[in-house]
């Protein structure tokens, strides 16, 4: 990219597929970012096809489109009055959650930004509530009231009305589920809490994803709690669990809530989000359609290269309708698709033949500028009344999708086999339904 182009403001049509589901709600939505005093008044203390259908019009450099119309506050969220969460103390992280899960963008940022933040906010709210209740889980009735209140607050701040569905959250997520220990005193008598705090209090996302100091400490603590389950036995020192993954997951949630109770809400949220960043880059979140069209057209690529690449482009366009992903997730997705094709007896490197890049696996900006890859450690979305909703986007030029069968295993921030340049841009969503690509 030339130096001159770094000062160019490119306008591209926001006819991305994720806006096909808006149905006009962008400008009909009447919600606002609630102020802290509003939340204070409402807290009850009594009860503790990706390519544009038409070509985007050209524009003069530096001539920005109209900004996103500010949210318009229309009313106070209707809270149940039966939830002990301290919403005022968690005001900052709730604002962040609402922005990260903003309206029609939520489904397309769910895996990397929205749901990790929503999950973190729930962990923090339950953890902070345990300071008073001394319990790290809610009963189902209390959980139902509290989750409804959280949903009301987030929706009033602009979050998607389908957030619970998008993130697969229900009241049981706030309960103990199968973990046998939820009492704070019992947990602190069972665990080496000092070591756990030391391991996690100064977490660095990049370092943690490699050395897993905090993650290992949490896993060890969760295993200690899981061992108290009535159906758990030991054999040669190892736990034998009837449903190990479920029990360990439930006890891990309890440990995370305990951690969240030992820090202020913002610090607790930062720790949990850092841990989630390590998890999201271990796999590919995309759902792969059948590859029969590619196998049909690419079986003899040397004699039918055009048909092969047309089939590949058509297939990738279907993947591009799903979600934004990180650069490392794109690496995992490319690797997984390459393996599927090789298992279908496609031996030629069709990625190279058809010039497939990592950015081809994410939502597209437009046909020319192509995909938007989020950084491996995604940042929160931002909102202001002048420029609207924006997020950091990594538009790496010509990073080829890997094909070699020697490349096995998930991508990692500790072991990058593909050079990923640090080229970061900001995407801003505007009322005139365009991206502003600030280069």
The count of other CB atoms within 10 Å of the CB of residue 2 is 7
Q: What is the pLDDT of residues 190-212, one digit of tens each?
A: 999 999 999 999 998 889 999 99
Helices (H) and strands (E) in the chain, counts: 17, 9
Higher pLDDT, 68 or 381: 381
pTM for the whole structure: 0.78
pLDDT in tens, 159-199: 999 999 999 999 999 998 889 999 999 999 999 999 999 99
Q: Tell whether the torsion through CA atoms of 146, 152, 158 and 160 is positive or negative.
A: positive
Residue 263 and residue 273: Cα distance in Å, rounded?
A: 14
| pLDDT value of residue 301 | 58
List pLDDT tens digits, range 306-324.
999 999 999 999 999 999 9
Same domain, 297 and 276: no
Average pLDDT over residues 334-355: 93
- The residue among 280, 312, 345 that closes a domain is 280
Averaged confidence pLDDT in the chain:
77
Q: Is it the case that residue 387 has pLDDT exceeding 70?
A: yes
Q: What is the pLDDT of residue 44?
A: 32
Least confident of 42-51, 275-284, 362-371: 42-51
Eight-state DSSP code of residue 173:
G
3-state helix, strand, coil split of the chain in percent (to 5) is 45, 10, 45
Q: Inform me whether the pLDDT recorded for 26 exceeds 70.
A: no
The answer to whether residue 74 sits within a structural domain is: no
Question: pLDDT by residue (tens digit) across 221-279?
Answer: 999 998 887 666 554 455 655 555 788 899 999 999 999 999 999 999 999 999 999 99
Assess whether 253 and 158 both reside in one domain: yes
Q: What's the DSSP call for residue 53? A: S
Q: Can you give the residue range of the structural domain that contains 341?
A: 292-438
Q: Are both 336 and 264 inside the same structural domain?
A: no
User: How many domains would you assign to the chain?
Assistant: 2
pLDDT digits over 114-159, tens only?
999 999 999 999 999 999 999 999 999 999 999 999 999 999 999 9
Does residue 17 fall inside a structural domain? no
How far is 22 from 269, CA to CA, in rounded Å?
30
Q: Name the helix (H) or strand (E) containing 37.
A: helix 36-42
Contact 35, 80 (CB under 8 A): no
The mean pLDDT value for 274-292 works out to: 94
How confident is the model at residue 329, as a pLDDT? Answer: 94
Q: Cα-flanking dihedrals φ and ψ of residue 243, to 5°?
A: -135, 70
Give the confidence band of 300 by pLDDT, cuts at 50, 70, 90.
low
Both 196 and 164 in a single domain?
A: yes
Instruction: Report the pLDDT value the prediction gives residue 365, as an integer from 0 to 100.
Output: 64
The packing angle between helices 213-226 and 265-280, to 10°, is 100
User: What pLDDT score does 408 carry?
Assistant: 53
Q: Would you place residue 220 in the very low, low, confident or very high pLDDT band (cuts 50, 70, 90)?
A: very high
Strands 238-240 and 382-384: unpaired
**Residue 369: its pLDDT value, please?**
55
pLDDT (mean) for 381-393: 81
Same-domain pairing of 348 and 238 = no
Residues 271 and 328 in one domain: no
Residue 385 within a domain = yes
Name which residue leads in pLDDT, 287 or 66.
287
Cα angle, residue 295 at apex, residues 290 and 296 outer, rounded to 5°: 110
Determine what percent of the chain is predicted with pLDDT higher than 70: 68
Q: Would you tell me the crossing angle of helices 213-226 and 193-200 to the nearest 10 degrees?
A: 150
Domain boundary, last residue among 227, 255, 280: 280
- 20 found inside a domain: no
Q: Are 329 and 364 in the same domain?
A: yes
Asked whether residue 195 is assigned to any structural domain, the reply reads yes
Residue 13 lies in a domain: no
pLDDT at 421 over 80: no
Say yes or no: 360 and 237 in one domain: no
* pLDDT band at residue 349 using 50, 70 and 90 as cut-offs: very high
How far is residue 315 CA from its own chain's centroid? Answer: 24
> Of 251, 283, 261, whose CA–CA distance to 410 is shortest?
283
- Tens of pLDDT, residues 35-83: 333 333 333 333 333 233 333 333 323 333 334 444 544 457 899 999 9
pLDDT at 233: 59
Domain co-membership, 405 together with 321: yes
Indicate whether 25 belongs to any domain: no
* pLDDT band per the 50, 70, 90 thresholds, residue 391: confident
Distance between CA atoms of 353 and 256, rounded to whole angstroms? 47
Q: What is the pLDDT of residue 33?
A: 32
Domain co-membership, 241 together with 304: no
């Amino acid at each position: 990219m030339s130096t001159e182009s770094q000062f160019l403001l490119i306008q591209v049509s926001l006819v991305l597929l994720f806006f096909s589901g808006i149905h006009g709600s962008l400008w009909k939505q009447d919600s606002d970012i609630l102020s802290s005093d509003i939340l204070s008044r409402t807290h009850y203390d009594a009860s503790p096809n990706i390519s544009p259908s038409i070509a985007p019009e050209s524009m003069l450099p530096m001539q920005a489109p109209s900004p996103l119309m500010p949210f318009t506050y229309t009313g106070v969220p209707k809270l149940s009055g039966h939830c002990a969460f301290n919403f005022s103390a968690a005001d900052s992280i709730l604002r962040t959650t609402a922005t990260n899960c903003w309206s029609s963008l939520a489904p397309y940022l769910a895996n990397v930004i929205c749901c990790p933040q929503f999950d973190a906010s729930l962990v923090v709210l339950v953890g902070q509530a345990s300071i008073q209740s001394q319990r790290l889980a809610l009963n189902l009735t209390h959980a139902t009231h509290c989750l409804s209140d959280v949903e009301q607050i987030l929706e009033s701040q602009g979050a998607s009305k389908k957030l619970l569905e998008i993130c697969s959250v229900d009241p049981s997520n706030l309960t103990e589920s199968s973990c046998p220990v939820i009492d704070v005193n019992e947990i602190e008598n069972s665990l080496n809490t000092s070591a756990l705090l030391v391991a996690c209090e100064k977490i660095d996302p990049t370092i943690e994803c490699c050395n897993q100091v905090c993650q290992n400490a949490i896993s060890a603590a969760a295993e200690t709690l899981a061992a108290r389950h009535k159906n758990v036995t030991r054999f040669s020192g190892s736990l034998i669990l009837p449903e190990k993954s479920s029990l360990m997951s439930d006890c891990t949630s309890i440990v995370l809530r305990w951690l969240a109770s030992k820090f202020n809400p913002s610090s607790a949220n930062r720790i949990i989000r850092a841990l989630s960043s390590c998890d999201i880059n271990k796999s590919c979140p995309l759902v792969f359609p059948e590859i029969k069209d590619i196998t049909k057209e690419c079986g003899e690529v040397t004699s039918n290269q055009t048909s092969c690449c047309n089939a590949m482009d058509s297939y990738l366009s279907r993947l591009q309708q799903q979600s934004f992903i990180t650069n490392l997730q794109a690496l995992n997705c490319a690797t997984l698709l390459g393996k599927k094709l090789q298992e279908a007896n496609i031996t030629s490197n069709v990625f190279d033949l058809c010039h497939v890049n990592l950015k081809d696996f994410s939502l597209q900006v437009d046909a020319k500028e192509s995909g938007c890859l989020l950084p491996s450690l995604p940042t929160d979305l931002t909102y202001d009344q002048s420029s609207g909703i924006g997020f950091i986007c990594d538009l790496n030029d010509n990073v080829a999708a890997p094909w070699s069968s020697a490349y096995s295993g998930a991508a990692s921030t500790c072991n990058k086999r593909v050079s990923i340049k640090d080229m970061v841009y900001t995407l801003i969503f505007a009322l005139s339904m365009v991206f502003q690509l600030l280069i």
